[in-house]
Amino acid sequence: MDESNRASSYLDEPANSRLFLVTSKSITEEIIREHFSTFGEIQDIWVVKDKHTKESKGVSFVKFSKSSQACTAMEEMHGRSLAEGTKPIKVFIAQARSSGSHRDVEDEELTRIFVMIPKSFTEEDLKETFKEHGDVEYAIIIRNKNTGESKGLGYVRFHKPSQAAKAIENCDKTFRAILAEPRTKNSSADNDYFSNPRLEHSGNDPGSSSYAFAHESSSFAPGGDTWSSDIITRCLMVSSRAAVTQEQIYGLFDLIPGMDFCEMQIDQYGFSKGQVVVRFNNLGSAVYAKEKLNGFEYPPGNRLSVSYIDDGEDRTSPVGKMAMQLVAAQMMSMVWNGPCGAQLMKTSAGYTAPPVSQKSRVQTDVALPSLKKLVSPDGTVKERLFVIFNPSPLPVDVLEDLFCRFGSLMEVYLVPGRNVGYIKYSDRNSAHDAIALLHGKVVNGVKMKVMLADPPKEESHKRQRTY
């Protein structure tokens, strides 16, 4: 085989680039190569033989470098005889080695693609766009069933697998074209892992992401600076239904600076009751720990409960708030940078505190305008900001809190693994106001450069991005 592509031919990559052939046992690798090399770069041919007799079992695999090459070869060669007196061959796209299935891959699974498109696209636009890659049987757009509004997603069905493969390989990358999952097996892809909590979100159903903080509204005087009369202490009780170790809880709460005590509670027989006492050396850290970790799923599926327990001191409010603000910046930085912390942040994002506590999560000398509602992220982006954070990015919820104050905020996006992000506005003035007020400023201990974003790089001049 070609040593230049050993790695890529070893796996089924790209997808659907390997053929499964059924032939007469007399058909050799050389004969196969003669007939198939015209369709593209062959990375590997393997004629399956009996281990002992070395006789062909009439089964072969042909690995191409591209799916479109394999599909074209399949379409052209299926049913043809490769040598005098030999039976017509069968040609299929091979099942991925990892799939374990030996079922024939059907054209049905290879001819429909799934694409992301501008919301303004019609079915006709979609069909027109993709017909350059092959015969389009139909193009449909996924719409909201009530409003008829496009979801910015569509399907395109081609007549041949090679056409769908070419569309995926060659269409503008902003379409993010992939093969569509066959529809019959009731959409296992309808999950929603990527949804971000937004400021206007106010779901209150138990079990929803906001449940964990629903009761905390009473801990704050709405819009004010003082605590209610609920006790606040440096000492927390962590309760878990599932078995957890003291070390696990220690690791979790140690993400927050200032923990000085973590002890699993055991009964008189020495058994754990699923309760761990955690104490911090300052009120702010304790408040922060409760806010971030109450309701946190750890391990996944097990919702931790965190509440204050009386330690006989530290009941006053202003101190707690000051301490919390100080510890917030450190917490954010740590959580964002550490691998464990990143996971915590990602998962706990669903437990972002409701607007009542916003005042305390943004700490800055800047005189900020009041909170404004976010606008739909699906509208037209009029201006985009590019923000650089030093030393590390602020969390998305803090950024929404901050950048919504100029109005028309659509979306905050942080580039993974980098200290930069983008802010989308549906109104130019909002973006410019944000630059004027926030460029060069420090928020929660993080210095920001706020400027207009360059336009996204275009892979092609044929199509526009949706923003």
Chain residues 359-398 in contact with DNA, contact rule CB under 7 A: 377, 386, 388
Q: Exactly one of 36, 39, 64, 92 binds DNA (CB under 7 A); which one?
A: 92
Q: Which of 111, 112, 129 is nearest to 120 (CA)?
A: 129
User: How far apart are CB 58 and DNA at their closest, in Å?
Assistant: 4
Interatomic CA distance for residues 105 and 107, integer angstroms: 7
Among 8, 155, 261, 342, binds DNA (CB under 7 A): 155
The reply on whether position 310 binds DNA by CB under 7 A is no
> Does 181 participate in binding DNA (rule CB under 7 A)?
yes
Name the 3-class secondary structure at 320.
helix
Segment lying near DNA (by CB under 7 A), choices 109-117, 244-252, 303-311, 433-441: 109-117
Q: How far is CA 16 from CA 68, 92, 98, 157, 168, in A?
A: 8, 10, 13, 17, 12
Stretch that binds DNA, among 175-183, 233-241, 319-327, 362-370 (CB under 7 A): 175-183
- Residue 461 found at the interface with DNA (CB under 7 A): no
| Phi, psi dihedrals of residue 64, rounded to the nearest 5° | -100, 165
For residue 451, the cross-strand partners are 386
Number of Cβ within a 10 Å radius of residue 188: 7
Contacts of 76 (CB under 8 A, 6+ apart): 39
Q: Please, which residue, 18 or 279, has the CB nearer to DNA?
A: 18
Contact 257, 285 (CB under 8 A): yes
Q: Which stretch binds DNA (CB under 7 A): 66-74, 183-191, 207-215, 339-347?
A: 183-191
Determine, following the binding rule CB under 7 A, whether residue 194 of this chain makes contact with DNA. yes
Region near DNA per CB under 7 A, out of 173-181, 211-219, 272-280, 334-342? 173-181
Nearer to DNA, 192 or 267 (CB): 192
Per CB under 7 A, the list member of 74, 82, 110, 115 interacting with DNA is 115
Out of 259, 411, 423, 430, point to the residue binding DNA (CB under 7 A).
411
Of 33, 80, 97, 447, the one binding DNA (CB under 7 A) is 97
Q: Which of 236, 226, 250 is nearest to 320 (CA)?
A: 226
Which position among 84, 189, 205, 367 is part of the footprint of DNA (CB under 7 A)? Answer: 189
Closer residue to DNA, CB minimum distance, 107 or 291: 107
For DNA, which residue of 456, 458, 462, 464 counts as binding (CB under 7 A)? 456
Single out the segment in contact with DNA by CB under 7 A; choices: 212-220, 265-273, 317-325, 418-426: 418-426
Q: How far is the CB of 92 from DNA (least distance, A)?
A: 5
Stretch that binds DNA, among 113-121, 241-249, 311-319, 350-358 (CB under 7 A): 113-121
Site for DNA in 433-452 (CB under 7 A): 449, 451
157 pairs with which residues across the strands?
Answer: 112, 138
Q: Does 90 bind DNA (CB under 7 A)?
A: yes
Indicate the residue among 45 and 236 with the shorter CB distance to DNA: 45
For 76, phi then psi, to 5°, come to -80, -35
Backbone angles phi, psi at 151, to 5 degrees: -90, 5
Least distance (Å) from DNA to the CB of residue 80? 15
* Per-residue binding letters, 6-35, with DNA (x by CB under 7 A): xx-xx---------x-x-------------
Spatial contact of 60 and 23, defined as CB atoms under 8 Å apart: yes
- Sequence-distant (≥ 6) Cβ neighbours of residue 316 within 8 angstroms: none
Which helix or strand (DSSP H or E) is residue 284 part of?
Answer: helix 283-293
One DSSP character per residue, 116-151 reads E--TT--HHHHHHHHGGGS-EEEEEEEE-TTT--EE
Q: Which of 36, 114, 121, 425 binds DNA (CB under 7 A)?
A: 114
Which one, 299 or 379, has the nearer CB to DNA? 379
Residue among 395, 394, 399 at smallest CA distance from 410: 399
**How far is residue 206 from each of residues 202, 298, 350, measured CA to CA in Å?**
12, 18, 13
- Decide if 62 contacts 76 (C-beta within 8 A): no
Does 95 engage in binding with DNA (CB under 7 A)?
Answer: yes
Shortest distance in whole angstroms from residue 210 CB to DNA: 20
85 touches DNA (CB under 7 A)? no
Number of H helices, E strands in the chain: 12, 17
Distance from C-alpha of 207 to C-alpha of 404, rounded to nearest angstrom:
27
Q: Which of residues 323-362 bind DNA (CB under 7 A)?
A: none
**In this chain, which of 4, 48, 106, 340 binds DNA, going by CB under 7 A?**
48
Q: Do the Cβ atoms of 345 and 308 come closer than 8 Å?
A: no
